[in-house]
Structure formats: C-alpha cells, structure tokens
Amino acid sequence: MRVAVLASGRGSNLQALINARDAWELAIELVGVFSDRASAGALQRASAAGIPGISLRPKDFATRAEFDAAMFDAVDAVQPSLIVCAGYMRIIAAEQVARFEGRMINIHPSLLPKYTGLHTHARALQAGDAVHGASVHYVIPALDAGPVLAQAQVPVLADDTPESLAVRVLAREHPLLLAAVGLIASGRVAADARQILVDGAPLSAPLQLDAENRIHA
C-alpha cells in the first residue's frame, strides 16, 4: 500500500512507520512526507530513510485554500492509497478533505470524541479523567471529528503532569498507528465521512489496542 505522511513536527509517528516498514512488519511503501514547516524533524527523518520530502510555506500563498490545493496536488502526485496525518498541525480545507474521503487518517492524542484540538493532556487532567489515550480517525472537514477506527487507552496516574501523560500516550500512539495502518493495508477496512466498515460490517465502536499491540473489537 502506498502511504503518504503529513507532518509538521518531530515525526516520531512517522519514524514508527519507517521502522515497521524496514522490519517488514508493515506491507507499506512510504511514497512521500509532506510538511508545512521546512524545519520539521519529520523531513529529516524522511531524508534519512530515503523517502521524498516536500515542504510548502503557507506564507508563500495568498489564501489557505491555495496553499491546501498546492499541498494536496503534491500529495496526489505520489498516488497514495492512504494519507496519514501524523502531527500535521493545520486545519485542512474541506475541498481537499473531500478529495481524499475515506483515504486520509489522523492520529490524535485523546479518546475522541473527548478533547478535539489542542492541549488534550492538560484538559484530561483538568477534568479528572481516570483514563486518557489516543485515537486514529478518518479525516472529515470538522476538526478531529471523523469516524474513529481505533483507540489506545492510557491510565492517568495521580502524580501525572501534562508532560508525563503526553510521554505515556505517545508511547501507545506508535503501536496504535501501526496496527491501524496494518489493518487498512490488509484491505479489510472501507470508510467514508460517516462510517467505517471492517470486513464489510459497520464499526459500532472504535477498535481497542491491547497489551500485545493488536487492535480488536
């Protein structure tokens, strides 16, 4: 499966995909890494792994719509079957989301529908949640609101800070993303903006990552 990755930052989720590809644990070809920040660590990781990297500067475009059109024309040019947003920190224009409906996923550090947007760890702590985690969902125009394929739950500890919680959630994000991409690569998942089918049956609740890093109902 041809996979394109969008990332704005350090790229540890991208690195997890690279490592799994290199270990032949995932049947994917990483066909491009795309960023809105030329300095993104993700682009350095791509270059070190021999994956083409492209960065476009939002400031070079008159409007967000023009920037997104250029970005997704570049993505389309590498003919991905799946686009993975892994720490891509921009809201994507609805027109571009529609263009890749059912083919674009995002990893988000909360148990959606809780805590869309930013500062998810601080918000989970503030709410006194006993359990926090991460989600892989299909991208729709509304931010972090598309159908959720899979989640990893992370217990909140009494002395957690947003930083300590972020570290433990990130450690579960990587196997979660690999399991979700692996399931999609196996051809068992079909999705649109409203629902996800796994083996032809509608998913009524997100799959869960277990201690062996497998996802199941």
What residues act catalytically?
108
**Shortest approach of ligand GRF to residue 39 CB, angstroms?**
13
Token pair of 161, please?
């800070």
Instruction: Provide the terminal-to-terminal Cα distance of the chain, rounded to the nearest Å.
Output: 24
**Shortest approach of ligand GRF to residue 88 CB, angstroms?**
7
Q: Which of 12, 55, 81, 116 binds ligand GRF (CB under 6 A)?
A: 12
| Residue number with CB closer to ligand GRF (13 or 96) | 13
Q: Which of 1, 9, 74, 122 binds ligand GRF (CB under 6 A)?
A: 9
Which of 155, 166, 176, 158 lies closest to 121 in space, CA to CA?
Answer: 166
- What gap in Å lies between CA 215 and CA 208, rounded to an integer? 5
* Span 79-138, contacts to ligand GRF by CB under 6 A: 86-87, 107-109, 134
By CB under 6 A, residue 5 contacts ligand GRF: no
**Shortest approach of ligand GRF to residue 55 CB, angstroms?**
14
- What gap in Å lies between CA 24 and CA 17, rounded to an integer? 10
Q: Which segment (9-17, 94-102, 149-157, 207-215) binds ligand GRF by CB under 6 A? A: 9-17
Cα within 13 Å of Cα(187), Cβ side: 1
DSSP-derived 3-state class of residue 60: helix
Q: Which of 3, 5, 6, 7 binds ligand GRF (CB under 6 A)?
A: 7
Residue 12 class from Cβ within 10 Å (0-12 exposed, 13-18 middle, 19+ buried)?
Answer: middle
Residues that bind ligand GRF (CB under 6 A): 7, 9-13, 86-87, 107-109, 134, 170, 173
